[in-house]
Structure 1
Amino acid sequence: MMLNEQESVRHRRRGAALEAVLLDAAWAELTEHGYDAFTFDAVAVRADTSRAVLYRRWATKQELVLAAIGHGAARVPLEIPDTGSVRGDMLALLRYANATRVSTAIILSLHLGGYFTDTGSSLDDLRTVLRGDFPDAVRTVMDRGVQRGELDPGRLSDRIERLPFDLYRYELMMTAKPVPEDVLQEIVDTVFLPLVSPLQGGTA
């Protein structure tokens, strides 16, 4: 492809397609070099564009980093599992997280100290960005479990519904490695299901 043809292809990128390219580049820069070395110039070079294109969308480094984190955490589309049981569905969601969130955990634990200093924020402030579609998926799993009689709706609360993934994220952040299968099963079987299963006449 000749140079003018390459420039034509580059300039035809618009809207969501262009934004995805920009965020892919930002995520790659953040992954490889960390927050402190992260610059608009480096992202623009990687995305084969100009700083002006980035600044039209994100006014500051911190805004672009936050968008890149959300983009990186959602790179693999989430499909809500339907295994026929709450146990199976929750384990499937945790295994999905294991397959897609480790690199995000490494970035958060090793590369974002400067971001938290600059913004005065904490890891908890990124909760919404990091959770992505998981709350909707968990809500669907819970609703199906109630309909099947596996779960007691009176024992469900927002905090309890978040518990499996809060425990998962703790394990992931402490080790920056995929959480072992036996730990995933312990989270579901030993901690979560006893809290939400009917007290009498039901099993999960």
Structure 2
Amino acid sequence: MPHATQAAPKCSRSRRRGEVLERALYEATLAELAEVGYGGLTMEGIAARAHTGKAALYRRWGSKHDLVHAALVFALPPVPEPRAGRSARDSLLTVFTAHRDVLAGKTLFPSLDTIHQLLHEPEMRIIFADAVVGPRLQLVESILQNAIAAGELDPATVTPLTARVGPALINHHFMLTGEPPNKRDLAVVVDTVIPPRATTRASAN
């Protein structure tokens, strides 16, 4: 009997639970995704990399589709909310800097090469649009509306594609140069999205 009572702590001592286990599963998913791509991704491979059983995955997610969705949301930094009293231009610069940091590999989010692979999968393209791109475009659109209200942006210059201009230019810079844009580059992107108003000319007229 004494031997039986001492065995229980040994079995559970290294067992991971809750957020600790989920983080390990997310990290294993992202690592497998980068190594084998979405097409080669399996629940078995993720479980093996995370040093756990498949049951730990299936208790939480019904398929690799659901798990990758959750892993992308986990890896993506929170959307930086605009602060009160900050100009629309400064708010936009904060959002674009966060976007740059993702491309620069400063977060757990997959690399651009991995994202390109995901976008070839129809179901993952939908997830990426809804979970990653959509919330950030909504934030940029709200900043643009604030800029219009504050007189920083002429509403006649805003189109349904204006919110996409900044992220597209940042991605374009990275793909052409292999390097994320620096602070000066980001400032130029902000000037492109919200052109500085010609206040001197306006006052002279």
Q: Any conservation in 2 of the 1:109–1:173 contact (CA below 8 Å)?
A: no
Q: Any conservation in 2 of the 1:105–1:172 contact (CA below 8 Å)?
A: no
* Of 127, 143, 152, the match for 2:129: 127
Q: Any conservation in 2 of the 1:164–1:192 contact (CA below 8 Å)?
A: yes
Q: Hey, what does 2:25 align to over in structure 1?
A: 22
Say whether residues 1:69 and 2:72 are aligned partners: yes
Structure having the higher Rg? 2
Residues 1-204 of structure 1: matches in 2 within 5 Å? 2-7=10-15, 10=16, 12-13=17-18, 19-31=22-34, 33-35=35-37, 38-72=41-75, 74=76, 76-82=77-83, 84-103=86-105, 107-109=111-113, 113=117, 115=118, 119=121, 126-131=128-133, 133-189=135-191, 191-194=192-195, 201=202
Against the structure 1 CA distance between its residues 22 and 132, is the aligned structure 2 distance closer, same or farther, given a 3 Å change threshold? farther
Cα deviation for residue 121 of structure 1 reads 7.1
What is the CA–CA distance in structure 1 between the aligned matches of 2:73 and 2:54, rounded to whole Å? 21
Cα deviation for residue 26 of structure 1 reads 0.9
Q: Any conservation in 2 of the 1:29–1:43 contact (CA below 8 Å)?
A: yes
What is the CA–CA distance in structure 1 between the aligned matches of 2:124 and 2:46, rounded to whole Å? 24
Larger relative contact order (CA 8 Å, sep ≥ 6):
1
Q: Any conservation in 1 of the 2:72–2:109 contact (CA below 8 Å)?
A: no
Against the structure 1 CA distance between its residues 52 and 149, is the aligned structure 2 distance closer, same or farther, given a 3 Å change threshold? same
Cα deviation for residue 164 of structure 1 reads 1.0
The alignment-based identity, stated in percent, is: 25
What is the CA–CA distance in structure 2 between the aligned matches of 1:110 and 1:22, rounded to whole Å? 18
Cα deviation for residue 105 of structure 1 reads 8.1
What is the CA–CA distance in structure 2 between the aligned matches of 1:134 and 1:2, rounded to whole Å? 47
Could you tell me which runs of 5 or more consecutive residues in structure 1 were left unpaired when the two chains were aligned: none
Could you tell me which runs of 5 or more consecutive residues in structure 2 were left unpaired when the two chains were aligned: 1-8
Normalising by structure 1, we get a TM-score of: 0.68
Cα deviation for residue 52 of structure 1 reads 3.0
Cα deviation for residue 201 of structure 1 reads 4.2
Cα deviation, 1:82-118, whole Å, max 9, x if unaligned, reads 46322222122111222234338863325754x555x
Cα deviation, 1:158-189, whole Å, max 9, x if unaligned, reads 31122111221222344453222332122222
Secondary structure in structure 2 of the residue aligned to 1:158: coil
